[in-house]
Amino acid sequence: MKTEVLAMLQEETYVSGQKICDRLHVSRTAVWKMMKRLREEGYEIEAVSNRGYCLKHIPDVITEEACLKEMETSWAGRKIIYRDEVDSTNTLAKQKGEEGAPHGTLIVADMQTNGKGRLGRNWVIPKGQAIVMSLLLRPQIEPQCASMLTLVAALAVSQAIKEKIGIAVQIKWPNDIVYKGKKICGILTEMSAEMDVIHYIVVGIGINTGKIPFDKELEEKADTLYRITGNYFPRRILISAVMKHFETYYEQFCQTGDLSLLQNIYEESLANKNNQVRVLAPGNEYTGECLGITKNGELRVRDQSGTLRTVMSGEVSVRGIYGYV
Ligand code: BT5
Ligand 1 centre to CA of 40 (Å) is 32
Q: How far apart are CA 28 and CA 303, in angstroms?
A: 74
Q: How crowded is residue 123: how many other Cβ atoms within 10 Å of its Cβ?
A: 19
Indicate if the pLDDT at residue 320 is higher than 80: no
Protein residue closest via CA to atom 2 of ligand 1: 117
At 293 the three-state DSSP class reads strand
* Ligand 1 pocket member 143 (CB < 6 A): no
Domain with CATH 3.30.930.10 in the chain: 64-268
The pLDDT of residue 193 is 93
Helix (H) or strand (E) holding 6: helix 2-11
Pick from 1-5, 12-16, 114-118, 317-321: least confident: 317-321
Ligand 1 centre to CA of 205 (Å) is 9
Domain with CATH 1.10.10.10 in the chain: 2-57
Q: For the chain, report the end-to-end CA distance as a whole number of angstroms.
A: 50
Q: Which class for 22: exposed (0-12), middle (13-18), buried (19 or more C-beta within 10 A)? A: exposed
pLDDT interval class at 281 (50, 70, 90): confident
At 47 the three-state DSSP class reads strand
Ligand 1 centre to CA of 122 (Å) is 6
Q: How far apart are CA 289 and CA 280, in angstroms?
A: 14
The pLDDT of residue 20 is 96
CATH of 2-57, one of 3.20.20.60, 3.90.220.20, 3.10.25.10, 1.10.10.10: 1.10.10.10
Superfamily covering domain 64-268: Bira Bifunctional Protein; Domain 2 (3.30.930.10)
Protein residue closest via CA to atom 27 of ligand 1: 218
**Nearest one of 80, 87, 85 to 102, comparing CA atoms:** 80
Q: How far apart are CA 103 and CA 201, in angstroms?
A: 9
- Could you read off the pLDDT of 185-231 as tens digits, one per residue? 999 999 999 988 999 999 999 999 998 889 999 999 999 999 999 98
- Could you read off the pLDDT of 41-67 as tens digits, one per residue? 888 999 999 999 999 988 899 999 999
Mean pLDDT of the chain, nearest integer: 94
Give me the count of residues in the chain.
Answer: 325
pTM of the predicted model as reported, rounded to 2 decimal places: 0.89
Ligand 1 centre to CA of 82 (Å) is 20
The pLDDT of residue 316 is 65
Cis peptide before 174 (omega within 30 of 0): yes
pLDDT interval class at 317 (50, 70, 90): confident
CATH architecture label of 276-320:
Roll (2.30)
The pLDDT of residue 319 is 76
**Nearest one of 214, 242, 244 to 132, comparing CA atoms:** 242
Protein residue closest via CA to atom 25 of ligand 1: 121
At 287 the three-state DSSP class reads strand
Tell which phi-psi region holds residue 220, choosing left (phi > 0), alpha (psi between -120 and 50) or beta.
alpha
pLDDT interval class at 283 (50, 70, 90): confident
Ligand 1 centre to CA of 209 (Å) is 14
Q: Which class for 28: exposed (0-12), middle (13-18), buried (19 or more C-beta within 10 A)? A: exposed
Ligand 1 centre to CA of 144 (Å) is 23
pLDDT interval class at 313 (50, 70, 90): confident
Cα-flanking dihedrals φ and ψ of residue 77, to 5°?
A: 75, 20
* Ligand 1 pocket member 318 (CB < 6 A): no
- Could you read off the pLDDT of 89-116 as tens digits, one per residue? 999 999 999 999 999 999 999 999 999 9
Tell which phi-psi region holds residue 52, choosing left (phi > 0), alpha (psi between -120 and 50) or beta.
left
Pair type for strands 122-123 and 79-86 = unpaired
Looking at the DSSP bridge assignments, the partners of residue 201 are 137, 191
Q: Is the dihedral of CA 21, 25, 29, 30 positive or negative?
A: negative
pLDDT interval class at 145 (50, 70, 90): very high
Q: Which residues contact 309 (CB under 8 A, 6 or more apart)?
A: 279, 286, 288, 300, 301, 302, 303
Distance of CA 19 to the CA centre of its chain: 39
* Ligand 1 pocket member 116 (CB < 6 A): yes
The pLDDT of residue 325 is 67
Domain with CATH 2.30.30.100 in the chain: 276-320
Distance of CA 55 to the CA centre of its chain: 28
Q: Give percent of the chain with pLDDT exceeding 90.
A: 84
* Contact in structure between 106 and 80 (CB atoms under 8 Å): yes
